[in-house]
Amino acid sequence: MSIDIEKNINRLVMKFPFNQEETVLYNTQNRSLLVLSNSLFDGNMIAKDVDYDVLKILRDFQMIGTTDDEILQSMRNKYNNESKTLVITIELTRNCFFECTYCYENGMKNNFKITKNVMDNIIFYIFYIEKIFNKKDVDFLQMNFIGGEPLLAKKELLYLYNRIKILCDTYEVDYRSLINTNGVLLSPSLFSEIQNVDILVSLTNISDHDKNRPFLNGTGSYQKICSALTKCRDAFRRDDVNLIIRFNTNGENFTEFRGFLNELKRLNITISQVDPMYTDEYEQNSFINTLKKQDFLQWNSTTAIDILIEEGFPIVYAPQNYPKPCKAYIRDNCKIFYDGNLGLCDASDFEKRGPNIIDINNGKINLNSYFSRIKEWSPLDDVQCRNCEILLMCGGKYFCKNNKCEVERYDLQSFLKTYIKHTQLGNSDSFVGMQ
């Protein structure tokens, strides 16, 4: 039986070898994945003698049969710099009692905290300036609290949180907070005053951690953090609280990853996820990461996943499968520094910050117009981006990327091969992001 069907593989389908006999097809739009015999292919096309049933499967999974123009139009219809989620990142202070070797804020710390005037202007911006909630039909607010050490400004954090929570409840808007903290000042009392929160703590094996994240006097901080985490054990069992451990990976600690996970398990606390992240270098720091970025991507896509699964931790990552801009590129999203000046997101540089939120609220400057180069940008307007098979997973040439065409945390082919391997081993449930 013959079928009149296009045999070219769709442009947004990744094709790569799984082993010597088999090839992987991965549809980046719907995450469908097939492992097929090499005999079914003729270059980047399906072989002429493939039978009807195989062609039907390929078309059902949208591996073939869609033109480039149809794919591009579909992405244009979906891509939107608007969002029903409003993301506000708030820097509460530049003060910190750590002396981290790789901190991007080294040389820029001070003892100032965010003022009540700035906080009230943040609240005014979120709820009243241009009536954002009504204009955007916002149904979710994400509040990210960062520092310095944000819990040195706990009073200010709770002031913002409580005022915003009241208004979210009034407008029937769901909300969630993230606190990016070194962990030392975490206490059960904090969780009696805050709900719907993610706690992000950077931690590695003790020798590496105490070398790279000591107190100002040079003493290690690892034990103090672990003590604080264990005191909050009951809070981390709550459904509305997530503890996320960030493993800042470098050339000295990645071989200690399994031992570190076992140290975490001995704490007997509920951990939602452990995220290995590459530790970047900054010109003001002496820290040098002897682990090359590409080697990290391979390790994080293979060995690290194996270890996480074997030690009972979930794999939360999944490749993005729809044309959605990064939060910095979405209208009205912003980062607010402790002094009220504005950036776009966590990656915004303090030295290159934009206008003050007071000027935004007074109508002197429009946030989206000021940052129009970012807020109106689309990867679909870039010829290289829109013709790239991994566009959906990469997102495009974001301003924060050193390598504009790199997916930041994973080598995609290696990640998918690891996913296939564990699926064949019966471990697919560990990949919670792929469900």
pLDDT in tens, 183-219: 999 999 999 999 999 999 999 999 999 999 999 999 9
Q: Is the pLDDT of residue 400 over 70?
A: yes
102-124: string of b/e by CB count within 10 Å (b at 16+)? bbbbbeebeeebbeeebbebbee
Chain centroid, CA 421 distance in Å: 25
Report which of 351, 347, 381 is spatially closest to residue 146, judged by C-alpha positions.
347
pLDDT of 324 reads 82
273: phi then psi, degrees, rounded to nearest 5: -165, 155
- The domain ranges of the chain are 13-78+409-434, 84-408
pLDDT of 79 reads 85
Q: Note the CATH architecture for domain 84-408.
A: Alpha-Beta Barrel (3.20)
CA distances (Å), origin 340, targets 85, 105, 114, 330, 357: 22, 17, 8, 20, 6
Of the spans 48-57, 197-206, 359-368, which averages the highest pLDDT? 197-206
Q: Is the pLDDT of residue 77 over 90?
A: no
Helix spans in 366-411 (H) = 367-370, 372-375, 383-386, 391-394
Mean pLDDT estimate for the chain = 92
Q: How far apart are CA 118 and CA 30, in angstroms?
A: 43
| Lookup result for tokens 């013709």 | 387
pLDDT class of 134 with cuts at 50, 70, 90: low
The answer to whether residues 198 and 177 touch, using CB atoms and an 8 Å cutoff, is: yes
What is the DSSP pairing of strand 140-146 with strand 85-91?
parallel
pLDDT cut 90: percent of the chain above it: 70
pLDDT of 2 reads 43
pLDDT of 167 reads 87
Check residue 10 and report its DSSP letter: P
Residues 6+ apart with CB under 8 A from 276: 247, 249, 254, 257, 296, 299, 300, 304, 409
Give the amino acid at 289: N
Q: 5-17 pLDDT, tens per residue?
A: 467 899 899 999 9
CA distances (Å), origin 9, targets 14, 44, 46, 61, 293: 9, 6, 7, 11, 31
Tokens representing 383 are 């010829």
Higher pLDDT, 100 or 350: 100
Higher pLDDT, 406 or 94: 94
pLDDT class of 3 with cuts at 50, 70, 90: very low
